[in-house]
């Protein structure tokens, strides 16, 4: 037995489909004739459109080196502060 969900879902889907097919005059009025008659833009692959990122292991090594250098700088600073307060 159906609990009435199928007809409700069907009505909702039809309503959404009809709303998607309506024309919105405010938007259509803003499109110039040049834009309306323009060629479609050239499609590019995602590989050429996205920036290439470093491999995770390479980025991890760079981060580890940067953190080690910062740790060494902070340790030297702490040693200097200890020597001036004694």
Highest average pLDDT, of 5-14, 17-26, 32-41, 67-76, comes from 67-76
pLDDT of 69: 96
Give the distance between the most distant pair of CA atoms in the chain. Answer: 87
Q: DSSP letter string over 43-66?
A: P--HHHHSPPPPPHHHHHHHHHHH
The verdict on pTM exceeding 0.75 is no
Q: How many CA atoms lie within 13 A of 1 on its CB side?
A: 1
> Over the stretch 43-86, which tens digit does the pLDDT of each residue have?
888 888 888 777 777 778 889 999 999 999 999 999 999 998 76
């Amino acid at each position: 037995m159906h609990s009435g969900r199928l007809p409700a879902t069907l009505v909702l889907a039809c309503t959404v489909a009809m709303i998607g097919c309506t024309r919105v005059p405010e938007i259509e009025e803003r499109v110039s004739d040049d834009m309306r008659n323009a060629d479609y833009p050239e499609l590019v692959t995602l590989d050429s459109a996205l920036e290439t990122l470093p491999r995770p292991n390479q980025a991890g090594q760079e981060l580890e080196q940067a953190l080690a250098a910062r740790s060494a700088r902070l340790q030297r600073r702490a040693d200097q502060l200890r020597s001036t307060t004694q």
